[in-house]
Amino acid sequence: MTELLQQTVSGLTTGLVYAALALAIALVFQGTGTLNFAQGEFATLAAFVSFALSTAGLSWWLIVPLLVVLAFVFGAGVERLLVRPVEGSGPLALLTVTAALLLGSNAVVALIWGTDVRSMASPFGGAVYHVGPLTFTAQAIGGGALVLLAMLLCGLIFRFTPLGLRLRAVADNPDSARLLGISTGVMLAVGWGIAAAVGAVAGLVAAPTLGLSPELMTNALLLALAAVTLGGFSSRLGAVVGGLLIGVLSNLASRYVPGIGGDLQLVVPFAVIFLVLLVRPQGLFGRASTVRA
């Protein structure tokens, strides 16, 4: 029982990283109707930047907010400069651009920092806490809290602020939004910025556990895409729950299902998704269109 709990906790910890990345992917998808394949690479880049900043001696209290701001500007800038010009060319052109961004940012990171895996010290220190029979590392607690905070803030912005209302309006019906005086272009850039900021937090939290390398988020991207599919592309909450479920499921499967070791563990979430989509094509939290004719 204790071990089951411990495995679940550790699955949730990795699941939070998938969840944050999945949320970022869902945000961009809702705004522009495209999958940003480079979302994971943005997060990797953010992890390297935070590594560089901390090596330069900055305090983590400064690095985290700075990273969020930088990532926001970066994401918004990418939308403006690289995505906007091809926006009218259809979803396939957009997909191609994000795929190119994936390869491009991966190459840039490898060029600057090399391809060796570096170890990055946890911003939260190396302490280990025992709560009853369970063990928590400071990295797991701090990282989990940070990701949760980022997702919560993002949710609050979308749900309760005028900016969030505009972002949701543009995602829902851009033509109509324009007629109400909303600058859709600005909102799309802001959406990409917020997504990149949430992703940056995911990268920062993943790096100390997984080791810093250009491949940091490669698997995480696949699992985050799976999480979004599982939760439903139209639901931010769904993306987050999907990420957590996938983290826990793959962890438990590798521990308890005979024959599934570390390598096959990646397959498990996809099998689950396959089954879910057979029953609910719109995902667990997705809306099957509620629109009346």
88 interacts with other proteins by CB under 8 A: no
Residue 30 token pair? 């809702």
Stretch that binds other proteins, among 52-60, 79-87, 111-119, 284-292 (CB under 8 A): 284-292
183 interacts with other proteins by CB under 8 A: yes
290 interacts with other proteins by CB under 8 A: yes
Among 176, 257, 275, 288, which residue sits at the site for other proteins (rule: CB under 8 A)?
176
Among 1, 131, 175, 259, which residue sits at the site for other proteins (rule: CB under 8 A)?
175
Amino acid at 152: L
Q: What is the dihedral of CA 183, 189, 190, 195, to 10 degrees?
A: 150
Among 7, 135, 184, 282, which residue sits at the site for other proteins (rule: CB under 8 A)?
184
Among 24, 168, 200, 213, which residue sits at the site for other proteins (rule: CB under 8 A)?
168
The rounded Cα 53 to chain-centroid distance in angstroms is 22
Helices 236-256 & 218-231, crossing angle to 10 degrees?
Answer: 120
Closest CB to other proteins among 118 and 287? 287
Residue 152 token pair? 């919560």
| Residue 111 CB partners (closer than 8 Å, separation 6+) | none
Among 88, 259, 262, 289, which residue sits at the site for other proteins (rule: CB under 8 A)?
289
Q: How far is the CB of 87 from other proteins (least distance, A)?
A: 15
291 interacts with other proteins by CB under 8 A: yes
User: Would the CA dihedral through 43, 44, 49, 50 be positive or negative?
Assistant: positive
User: CB under 8 Å, gap of 24 or more: what pairs does 91-98 form?
Assistant: 91/33, 91/34, 94/32, 94/33, 94/34, 95/34, 95/35, 95/37, 98/34, 98/35, 98/36, 98/37, 98/38
Nearest-5° Cα angle at 46, 44 to 47: 65
263 interacts with other proteins by CB under 8 A: no
Closest CB to other proteins among 35 and 187? 187
237 interacts with other proteins by CB under 8 A: no
Task: Please answer whether residues 114 and 107 qualify as being in contact, where contact means their C-beta atoms are separated by less than 8 angstroms.
Answer: no
Residue 140 token pair? 């797991």
Among 98, 234, 250, 254, which residue sits at the site for other proteins (rule: CB under 8 A)?
234
Site for other proteins in 137-166 (CB under 8 A): 162, 165-166
Measured distance CA(247)–CA(140) in Å, rounded: 14
173 interacts with other proteins by CB under 8 A: yes
Measured distance CA(184)–CA(178) in Å, rounded: 6
Q: How far is the CB of 65 from other proteins (least distance, A)?
A: 29
Among 86, 100, 287, 288, which residue sits at the site for other proteins (rule: CB under 8 A)?
287
Closest CB to other proteins among 128 and 186? 186
Q: How far is the CB of 29 from other proteins (least distance, A)?
A: 14
Task: Please answer whether residues 210 and 219 qualify as being in contact, where contact means their C-beta atoms are separated by less than 8 angstroms.
Answer: no
Closest CB to other proteins among 59 and 173? 173
Give me the residues that bind other proteins (CB under 8 A), please.
162, 165-166, 168-169, 172-173, 175-184, 234, 287, 289-293
